[in-house]
Amino acid sequence: MSQDRLSLEDETIRICQELIRIPSVNYGEGKGDESAVAAYVVASLAEVGVAATIYESAPNRANVIAKISGSDSSRPGLVLHGHIDVVPADAKDWSIDPFSGEIKDGFIWGRGAVDMKNVDAMILAIVRKWAREGYVPPRDIVLAFFGDEEAGSEFGSRYMTANHPEVFAGCTEAVSEVGGFSITVKNGKRLYFIETAQKGIHWIKLTAKGTAGHGSMINKNNAVTALSEAVAKIGNHNWPQRYTKTIKSLFANLAKATDTKYDETDFRPMLDELGPAAKMFGATLQNTANPTMLNSGYKANVIPQSASAVVDGRFLPGYEDEFNQTIREIVGPDIEIETLTHDISLEVDFSGDLVEAMVQALIAEDPDAIAVPYMMSGGTDNKALSELGIVGYGFAPLKLPANLDFMALFHGVDERVPLDGLKSGVHMMEHFLKNS
Instruction: Please state the domain extents for the chain.
Output: 3-180+374-434, 197-343
Distances (CA, A) of 130 to 94, 123, 138: 37, 11, 12
CATH class entry, domain 3-180+374-434: alpha beta
**Cα–Cα distance, 32 to 416 (Å, whole number):** 22
- Pairing type for strands 103-104 and 31-32 reads unpaired
**Cα–Cα distance, 370 to 340 (Å, whole number):** 39
Residue 1: predicted pLDDT = 67
Distances (CA, A) of 104 to 100, 242, 278, 436: 11, 42, 28, 35
161-190 CB burial, b ≥16 within 10 A, e <16: beeeeebbeebbbbbbbbbbbbbbbeeebb
Q: How many CB atoms sit inside 10 A of residue 262's CB?
A: 13
Quote the pTM value: 0.93
Helix or strand holding residue 201 (H, E): strand 200-209
Q: What are the residues whose beta carbons fall under 8 Å from the beta carbon of 106, sequence distance 6 or more?
A: 418, 419, 420
Residue 3: predicted pLDDT = 86
Asked if residue 143 lies in contact with residue 80, where contact means CB atoms within 8 angstroms, the answer is yes
**Cα–Cα distance, 194 to 114 (Å, whole number):** 16
Please give the chain's pLDDT, 436 residues, in tens.
688 899 999 999 999 999 999 999 999 989 999 999 999 999 999 999 999 999 999 999 999 999 999 999 899 999 999 999 999 999 999 999 999 999 999 999 999 999 999 999 999 999 999 999 999 999 999 999 999 999 889 999 999 999 999 999 999 999 999 999 999 999 999 999 999 999 999 999 999 999 999 999 999 999 999 999 999 999 999 999 999 999 999 999 999 999 998 999 999 999 999 988 899 999 999 999 999 999 999 999 999 999 999 999 999 999 999 999 999 999 999 999 999 989 999 999 999 999 999 999 999 999 999 999 999 998 999 999 999 999 999 999 999 999 898 888 999 999 999 999 999 999 999 999 999 9
**Cα–Cα distance, 303 to 390 (Å, whole number):** 52
Is it true that domain 197-343 has CATH number 3.30.70.360? yes
**Cα–Cα distance, 109 to 113 (Å, whole number):** 6
Helix or strand holding residue 232 (H, E): helix 223-236
